[in-house]
Amino acid sequence: MLPILRLFAEGAPNVAACLPALQKQFNISDEEAAQLIPSGRNTTILQSRAHWARTYLSKAGLLVSPRRNLHVITELGRQVLASNPERIDNETLSQFPGFTEWIEQSRQAEHSGRSAERPVRAKVSVDITPIDERQTPLDAMEAASALLDAALRDELISLLYQLSPQRFERVILDLLLAMGYGGGDLANGLMTKATGDGGIDGIIHEDALGLDAVYVQAKRYAADNKVSRPDVQRFIGSLTGEGATKGVFVTTSDFSKEAHEYLHRVQHRVVLINGQRLAQLMIQHGVGVRVRQTYKVQSVDEDYFGDALG
pLDDT in tens, the chain (310 residues): 999 999 999 999 999 999 999 999 999 999 999 998 876 567 888 998 999 899 999 999 999 988 878 999 999 999 999 999 999 998 899 999 999 888 877 766 443 333 444 443 334 343 444 445 556 667 777 778 888 888 899 889 989 988 888 888 889 888 988 888 766 555 555 655 544 445 678 888 776 656 678 889 999 998 889 999 999 999 999 899 888 889 999 999 999 999 999 999 998 999 999 999 999 999 999 999 988 878 787 877 777 786 655 5
pLDDT of residue 4: 96
**Per CATH, domain 165-284 is 3.40.50.720:** no
CA 19 to CA 41: how far, in whole Å?
18
User: Smallest Cα–Cα separation from 254: which of 295, 214, 226?
Assistant: 226
pLDDT of residue 285: 94
**Predicted local confidence at residue 116, as pLDDT:** 40
Q: What angle do CA 154, 129, 41 make, to 5 degrees?
A: 55
Sign of CA dihedral 169, 170, 173, 179: negative
Could you tell me where in the chain the CATH 3.40.1350.10 domains are found?
A: 165-284
For residue 310, give every residue at least 6 positions away whose Cβ sits within 8 Å of its Cβ, in sequence order, or none.
none
pTM score: 0.69
In which element (H, E) is residue 98 found?
helix 97-107
Rg (CA), the chain: 23
Please give the CATH topology (third level) of the domain spanning 1-95.
Arc Repressor Mutant, subunit A (1.10.10)
- 52, burial (CB in 10 Å: exposed 0-12, middle 13-18, buried 19+): middle
What's residue 133's pLDDT?
Answer: 52
In this prediction, residue 233 carries a pLDDT of 93
pLDDT for the residue numbered 181: 78
Residue closest to 58 by CA, chosen among 42, 76, 45: 76
What residues contact residue 51 under an 8 Å CB cut-off, 6+ apart?
A: 15
DSSP for 173-238, please give it.
HHHHHHTTGGGG-GGGEEEEEE-STT-EEEEEESSTT-SSEEEEEEE---TT-PBPHHHHHHHHHH
Say what the pLDDT of residue 187 is. 58
Domain span(s) for CATH 1.10.10 in the chain = 1-95
What was the pLDDT predicted at 113? 39
The DSSP secondary structure of 231-298, one letter per residue, reads HHHHHHHHHHHTT--EEEEEESS-B-HHHHHHGGGSSSEEEEE-HHHHHHHHHHTTSS----------
Confidence at residue 305, expressed as pLDDT on a 0 to 100 scale:
80
d(CA 283, CA 148): 11
